[in-house]
Amino acid sequence: MADARLAAQLWSLLDEMAENEPRAYRRLLLQQRAEAERFYSPAEPHLCLRARPAVGARRSGLGPGAGSGAGGGCGPLFINICSWKRVPAPKAPTDPTPVSAGLLEEVSGEGGLYSVIDIAYNPDVLQRGEENPEKREHLIHLTLKFVEEQYNLILSDLYTTESFKLKGSLETMQQRLRGRQMPTLNLSQNTKKELTLDRLLHTMEAEDCRNAPVLLKEESITESKVHLIEEITSTEMPEKLSTPIYKLITVKDANSKPFKIELQIELPKVSSVSECDLRISKDDVIIEVPEKYKLQLELPEFVDEEAATAVFNKGKRVLFITLPVAKPDP
**pLDDT tens figures, 154-186:** 888 788 999 999 999 998 898 888 774 333 333
Write the CA distances from 149 to 1, 63, 120, 182, 185, integer angstroms.
47, 8, 16, 28, 37
Quick: pLDDT tens for 79-115: 999 999 888 888 877 788 888 888 888 888 767 888 9
How far out from the chain centre does Cα 284 lie?
32
Question: Residues 137, 140, 142, CA angle at the centre, nearest 5°?
Answer: 110
Q: Which of 67-76, 247-256, 300-309 has the lowest mean pLDDT?
A: 67-76
Q: Which helix (H) or strand (E) holds 311?
A: strand 309-313
Task: State the pLDDT at residue 150.
Answer: 85
User: Region 225-243: what's the mean pLDDT?
Assistant: 51
Alpha-carbon gap, residue 118 to 103, rounded angstroms: 7
What are the phi and psi torsion angles at 204 (to 5°)? -70, -35
Task: State the pLDDT at residue 118.
Answer: 94
Alpha-carbon gap, residue 183 to 204, rounded angstroms: 10
Alpha-carbon gap, residue 116 to 180, rounded angstroms: 16
The number of beta carbons lying within 10 Å of the beta carbon of residue 317 is: 21
> What's the DSSP call for residue 242?
B
**46 Cβ contact partners less than 8 Å away, ≥ 6 residues apart:** 81, 82, 83, 121, 126, 165
> What's the DSSP call for residue 275?
G
Task: State the pLDDT at residue 220.
Answer: 36
Alpha-carbon gap, residue 60 to 66, rounded angstroms: 12
Task: State the pLDDT at residue 209.
Answer: 40
The widest CA-to-CA distance across the chain, in whole angstroms, is 94
Which amino acid, 189?
Answer: Q
Mean pLDDT estimate for the chain = 75
218 pLDDT exceeds 90?
no
Are 217 and 96 in contact, with CB atoms under 8 Å apart? yes
Hey, where are the domains in the chain?
Answer: 1-39, 44-180+210-231, 246-324
What are the phi and psi torsion angles at 53 (to 5°)? -60, 140
Write the CA distances from 319 to 246, 278, 283, integer angstroms.
9, 10, 19
Instruction: Please provide the CATH number assigned to the domain covering 246-324.
Output: 2.60.40.790
Strand order through the sheet with 246-252: 246-252, 258-266, 318-324, 309-313
What are the phi and psi torsion angles at 67 (to 5°)? -95, 175
Are 115 and 70 in contact, with CB atoms under 8 Å apart? yes
187 pLDDT exceeds 80?
no
